[in-house]
């Protein structure tokens, strides 16, 4: 090391005019900071592994188009999920332990809504060995599988029995929750990837199942649209509607005449959709459920909104008989129930109270108690217990047949269906490349709850560095001293009276100010959001940050390894690693 001094006798002190950078103070250290992103709990909880902290950061910076593209790497349906997802992400949000969870669901919708004119830059990777894959059914699982298979470079043919695509998103969810225009936009974006679409083609009817054999692999996602019988007297009466059928008619633009007073049976999201749709047709609605409110599987917000809109709930009631009265009304006899013990799936079990009954009268009865999978067109050897039977890689007993969505044994939700479409696409790729193994999935897992990352998979596949799975950040690892308490922001809603007059969307989304506040509330657990704490606190001034390109560099020649950056990082992104 050489430093130039000025020792002239004029001066009583030495001054150096050379740069002190020649002294490589970095060699003094025993530790070096490493930027190690960890998986946020929201991301782990999301079945689709949505990179939530990343997209919230970009949205917070006003970079919504990049935020959209970030989500699209893992989920082709931000507009749909931003509206109808049961958002387990918010339940696990670390901010929820501090004050209230971040409005992640509303933000996903916001990102989609404000980028409606943007054409995101998504394109398939080049795949010389372009095999052909058939996808049967165009619900969230089928469309996601088609989307991710295209990203992986395969040729995809999509078979849909009905005249329009979307499955449960198109025919099951009412317009006031998910406008058709939103769904249309999402599907159009997916189809831009060049997918061969065959609508009005029911496999097993218009074409035989065997015809799928010409494809190198196929993915079955027919959904669950088969009416299940309650097995009670009077179930076949004309005044008894099937929930799915009722919603299908509404979503086809019909206004079925169901009568002034309606009893809806069920406690899931279908029951809530049915009840709230019936309200919009002018009916008074009672929802009868055999367990209590606490056991209702529907999204809490949906239950709350149904109640707010005027749906009456009756709990611990099991219908046992429906009879037609002379005045053309119906009478429903309910067995009173109570909660005792737990069933095989560990849910509280409803047991009848001997001899206690209740009778209600109404003009119509809608059963929304879950539906079955039509397996009539499928070879018997790939089904089991009324579902398509798959292993953990979503493969059936036939190695070239894969399945997902509501037709397999998994929670019935849009986002889980999307997740199964993604997993199947990866599975099919592994199958084609002859390297199917559990390890293939564990390397791309997002946390430990089953979510997978397509972005990580692609980075490994494309000759890039498929990074190892990251740990999930725990709440104590967040330095909450850096955050002020603040209130969560909820979406504004349409005026109730106006909302009940039709099927226009109830939730109105966030304003840009509300979105800004919502993103600023995110702890960005384990993900750098360029807060500049490390930069400001670094005593050596050796940290450079580039938020635009999302890079961070440390001048290791001059970093003494003091660890200040790691201590002041609010989100546990900087970890000190001992030098060997």
Partner 1 sequence: MKEFMTGNHAVARAVRLCRTPLIAAYPITPQTPIYEKLSEWEASGELKGIMMRTESEHSAMAACIAASLTGVRTFTATSSQGIALMHEMLHFAAGCRVPVVMANVNRLLAAPWGFWADQLDSLSQRDTGWIQLYCENGQESLDTVIQAYKIAEQVYLPVMLSLEAFFVSHFMEVVDLPEQERVDRFLPPIDLPHKFDIDKPGFLVPVVSSELYRKYKHMAQISVDSVKEIAVRVDQEFKKEFGRGYGIIEPVMLDDAEVVIVTAGSITSTARLAIKDLRKQGNKIGLLKLRLFRPFPVEAVRVALRGKKKIAVIDRNISLGCGGIFCQELRAALVHSPDHPLTYSYIAGIGGTDVTPEVIQKIALDVMSKNEPTDAPIWVMEDY
Determine if 2 is a binding residue for partner 1 (CB under 8 A): no
Give dist(CA 444, CA 446) in Å, integer. 7
Burial grade of 535 (CB within 10 A; 0-12, 13-18, 19 or more): middle
Determine if 539 is a binding residue for partner 1 (CB under 8 A): no
Least distance (Å) from partner 1 to the CB of residue 3?
Answer: 6
Determine if 508 is a binding residue for partner 1 (CB under 8 A): no
Determine if 11 is a binding residue for partner 1 (CB under 8 A): yes
CB 138 within 8 A of CB 220: no
Give dist(CA 426, CA 145) in Å, integer. 9
Least distance (Å) from partner 1 to the CB of residue 2?
Answer: 11
CB 375 within 8 A of CB 386: yes
Determine if 5 is a binding residue for partner 1 (CB under 8 A): yes
Q: At what angle do helices 52-60 and 104-114 cross, to 10 degrees?
A: 60
Pick between residue 11 and residue 548 the one whose CB is nearest to partner 1. Answer: 11
Least distance (Å) from partner 1 to the CB of residue 65?
Answer: 42
Query: For partner 1, which stretch binds (CB under 8 A), given 4-12, 50-58, 295-303, 498-506?
Result: 4-12
Query: For partner 1, which stretch binds (CB under 8 A), given 6-14, 398-406, 444-452, 529-537?
Result: 6-14
Pick between residue 25 and residue 477 the one whose CB is nearest to partner 1. Answer: 25
Binding mask 186-225 for partner 1 (x = CB under 8 A): ----------------------------------------
Give dist(CA 52, CA 108) in Å, integer. 9
Give dist(CA 311, CA 264) in Å, integer. 10
What tokens appear for 261 in the block?
């007073």
Neighbours of 67 (CB within 10 A): 28
Query: For partner 1, which stretch binds (CB under 8 A), given 16-24, 323-331, 449-457, 547-555?
Result: 16-24
Nearest to 500 by CA among 286, 257, 306: 306
Determine if 14 is a binding residue for partner 1 (CB under 8 A): yes
Query: For partner 1, which stretch binds (CB under 8 A), given 13-21, 30-38, 62-70, 160-168?
Result: 13-21
Q: Is 133 helix (H, G, I), strand (E, B) or coil?
A: strand
Run of H or E residues at 144: helix 140-151
Dihedral Cα 403, 409, 413, 417, nearest 10 deg: -20
Binding mask 224-253 for partner 1 (x = CB under 8 A): ------------------------------
Pick between residue 8 and residue 580 the one whose CB is nearest to partner 1. Answer: 8
Pick from 2, 13, 129, 325: which binds partner 1 (CB under 8 A)?
13
What tokens appear for 171 in the block?
């025919």
Least distance (Å) from partner 1 to the CB of residue 537?
Answer: 15
Pick from 2, 12, 126, 513: which binds partner 1 (CB under 8 A)?
12
Q: Residue count of the chain, please give it.
A: 580
Query: For partner 1, which stretch binds (CB under 8 A), given 12-20, 250-258, 360-368, 559-567?
Result: 12-20
Least distance (Å) from partner 1 to the CB of residue 9?
Answer: 9
Least distance (Å) from partner 1 to the CB of residue 506?
Answer: 53
Query: For partner 1, which stretch binds (CB under 8 A), given 9-17, 55-63, 411-419, 470-478?
Result: 9-17
Pick between residue 116 and residue 536 the one whose CB is nearest to partner 1. Answer: 536
Write the CA distances from 161 to 221, 399, 518, 555, 563, integer angstroms. Answer: 12, 24, 41, 60, 61
CA angle, corner 297, sides to 294 and 303, nearest 5? 75
Give dist(CA 436, CA 394) in Å, integer. 11
Tokens 């206004």 correspond to 255
Least distance (Å) from partner 1 to the CB of residue 541?
Answer: 13
Give dist(CA 557, CA 542) in Å, integer. 9
385-404: contacts with partner 1 (CB under 8 A): none
Least distance (Å) from partner 1 to the CB of residue 562?
Answer: 19
Write the CA distances from 343 to 298, 339, 349, 350, 547, integer angstroms. Answer: 19, 11, 5, 9, 52
Determine if 536 is a binding residue for partner 1 (CB under 8 A): no
CB 23 within 8 A of CB 1: yes
18-47: contacts with partner 1 (CB under 8 A): 20, 23
Q: Which residues bind partner 1 (CB under 8 A)?
A: 3, 5-7, 10-17, 20, 23
């Amino acid at each position: 090391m050489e430093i130039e001094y000025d020792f002239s006798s004029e001066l009583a002190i030495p001054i150096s005019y050379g740069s002190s950078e020649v002294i490589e103070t970095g060699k003094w250290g025993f530790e070096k900071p490493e930027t190690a992103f960890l998986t946020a709990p929201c991301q782990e909880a999301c079945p689709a592994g949505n990179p939530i902290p990343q997209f919230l950061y970009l949205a917070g910076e006003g970079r919504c188009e990049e935020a959209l593209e970030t989500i699209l790497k893992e989920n082709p349906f931000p507009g749909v999920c931003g509206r109808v997802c049961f958002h387990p992400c918010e339940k696990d949000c670390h901010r929820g332990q501090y004050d209230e969870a971040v409005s992640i669901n509303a933000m996903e919708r916001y990102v989609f809504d404000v980028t409606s004119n943007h054409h995101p830059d998504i394109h398939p990777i080049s795949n010389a060995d372009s095999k052909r894959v058939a996808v049967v059914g165009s619900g969230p699982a089928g469309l996601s599988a088609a989307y991710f298979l295209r990203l992986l470079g395969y040729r995809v043919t999509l078979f849909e029995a009905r005249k329009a695509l979307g499955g449960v998103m198109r025919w099951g969810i009412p317009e006031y929750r998910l406008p058709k225009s939103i769904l249309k936009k999402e599907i159009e974006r997916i189809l831009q990837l060049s997918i061969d679409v065959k609508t009005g083609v029911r496999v097993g009817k218009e074409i035989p199942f065997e015809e799928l054999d010409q494809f190198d692999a196929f993915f079955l996602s027919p959904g669950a649209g088969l009416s299940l019988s309650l097995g009670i007297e009077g179930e076949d009466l004309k005044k008894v509607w099937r929930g799915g059928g009722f919603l299908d008619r509404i979503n086809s633009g019909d206004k079925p005449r169901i009568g002034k007073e309606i009893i809806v049976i069920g406690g899931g999201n279908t029951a809530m959709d049915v009840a709230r749709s019936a309200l919009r047709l002018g009916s008074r609605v009672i929802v009868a459920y055999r367990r209590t409110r606490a056991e209702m599987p529907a999204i809490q917000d949906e239950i709350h909104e149904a109640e707010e809109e005027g749906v009456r709930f009756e709990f611990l009631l099991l219908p046992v008989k429906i009879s037609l009265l002379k005045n053309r009304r119906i009478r429903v006899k309910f067995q009173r129930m109570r909660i005792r013990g737990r069933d095989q799936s560990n849910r509280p079990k409803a047991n009848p109270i001997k001899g206690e009954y209740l009778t209600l009268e109404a003009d119509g009865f809608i059963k929304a108690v879950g539906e079955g999978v039509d397996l009539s067109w499928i070879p018997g050897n790939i089904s089991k217990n009324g579902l398509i039977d798959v292993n953990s890689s979503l493969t059936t007993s036939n190695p070239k047949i894969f399945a997902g969505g509501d037709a397999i044994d998994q929670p019935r939700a849009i986002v889980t269906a999307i997740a199964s479409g993604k997993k199947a696409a990866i599975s099919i790729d592994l199958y084609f490349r002859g390297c199917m193994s559990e390890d293939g999935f564990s390397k791309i897992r997002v946390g430990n709850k089953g979510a997978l990352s397509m972005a990580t998979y692609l980075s490994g596949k494309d000759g890039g560095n498929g990074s190892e799975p990251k740990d999930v950040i725990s709440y104590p690892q967040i330095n909450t001293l850096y955050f002020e308490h603040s209130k969560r922001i909820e979406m504004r809603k349409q005026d109730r009276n106006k909302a009940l007059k039709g099927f226009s969307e109830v939730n109105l989304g966030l304003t840009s100010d509300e979105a800004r506040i919502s993103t600023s509330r995110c702890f960005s657990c384990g993900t750098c959001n360029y807060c500049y704490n490390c930069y400001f606190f670094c005593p050596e001034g050796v940290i450079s940050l580039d938020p635009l390109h999302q890079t961070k560099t440390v001048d290791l020649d001059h970093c003494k390894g003091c660890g200040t950056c790691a201590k002041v990082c609010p989100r546990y992104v900087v970890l000190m690693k001992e030098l060997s």
